[in-house]
Amino acid sequence: MSKETRRLFFALDLSDAHNAASRDAIVGLKRQLAPQGRPVPDDNLHITLAFLGEVDSKAYRRLCETADTLTCPPLSLITTQTGYFPAQSILWLGIAENTALRLLAEKLQSAAAEILNRPAEHKFVPHISLLRRAKPTEAPLTLQQPLHFQRVGIYASVPLEEGHGVRYQCLNHWTLTD
Ligand code: 2AM
C-alpha cells in the first residue's frame, strides 16, 4: 500500500456562481488589505471546516466514507469582520455563528481526529483567510455579505509548478440537503 500522503482539508468553496457578488466584495476587501501581507489568490478563497494535514490514501478513503454519512442542510451564512491568527500570521474575514455550520465542522473534525488518530489542530473559528504572512489591522474591518453553500468538498493543497504558492484541487464533494 502506498504511504504517500497529501495535505488535505474539508472546506466550502466560494467559487460557485450564486456567490459571485459577495465574492467580488470579499476580493475587494482583500485588495484593500493587500499591503498588510501576501493575498490569498481569488481562486483559493474558502471556509475551512476541518484541517486534516498530511493524509495517506487509506485514511482518505475512510474520511470520504464518513462524509458519505453526513446529514446537513444547505448553509446560508454571512460574513462579519476581519480577525487575525497570530500563530499563523493569517488575516481573515469571520463568519457569523451558525449552528448547522458548527455541527458540520464538529462532525468532520471529530471523524478526522478518530481516523487520523490525532486531535484537531485548531478549535473551529469559521473564517475565510484573506492574507498570509500578514500583519494585524489596527481595528477590525466590517464586511457583511451573504454566502450560500450547497456542497462541501475535500481538497488537496497542490504546490504550483512555477514557484511559490499552492492551488486547491477538489478530490470529492457531497451535496448538502434538507
Ligand atoms: P486556512 O487559511 O486554509 O483556513 C493550518 O494551520 C491551517 O489550518 C491554517 O493555514 C488555516 O488554513 C487552517 N485553520 C483552520 N482553523 C484555524 C484556526 N482556528 N486557527 C488557525 N488556523 C486555522
The CATH number of 5-175, from 3.90.1140.10, 1.10.150.170, 3.30.70.2740, 3.40.50.11890, is: 3.90.1140.10
The set of protein residues with a Cβ atom below 6 angstroms from ligand 1 is: 48, 51, 85, 88, 90, 121-123, 125, 129
Q: Is the Cα dihedral 91, 5, 122, 19 positive or negative?
A: positive
Residues 21-37 have a mean pLDDT of 97
Q: What is the pLDDT of residues 77-132, one digit of tens each?
A: 999 999 999 999 999 999 999 999 999 999 999 999 999 999 888 899 999 999 99
Q: How many CA atoms lie within 13 A of 20 on its CB side?
A: 2
Ligand 1 mutation pick, 8, 51, 54, max ligand atoms within 8 A of CB: 51
Please tell me the total number of residues recorded for the chain in this structure.
178
Domain boundaries, the chain: 5-175
Q: Is 34 helix (H, G, I), strand (E, B) or coil?
A: helix
Tell me how far the alpha carbon of residue 36 lies from the centroid of ligand 1, in angstroms: 18
- Atom from ligand 1 closest to the CA of residue 9: 3
Residue 51 CA, ligand 1 centroid: distance in Å: 7
Alpha helices in 10-134 (DSSP H): 20-33, 57-68, 99-116
- Mind listing the pLDDT tens digit for each residue in 134-157? 999 999 999 999 999 999 999 999
Query: Are the CB atoms for 82 and 144 separated by under 8 Å?
Result: no
pTM: 0.95
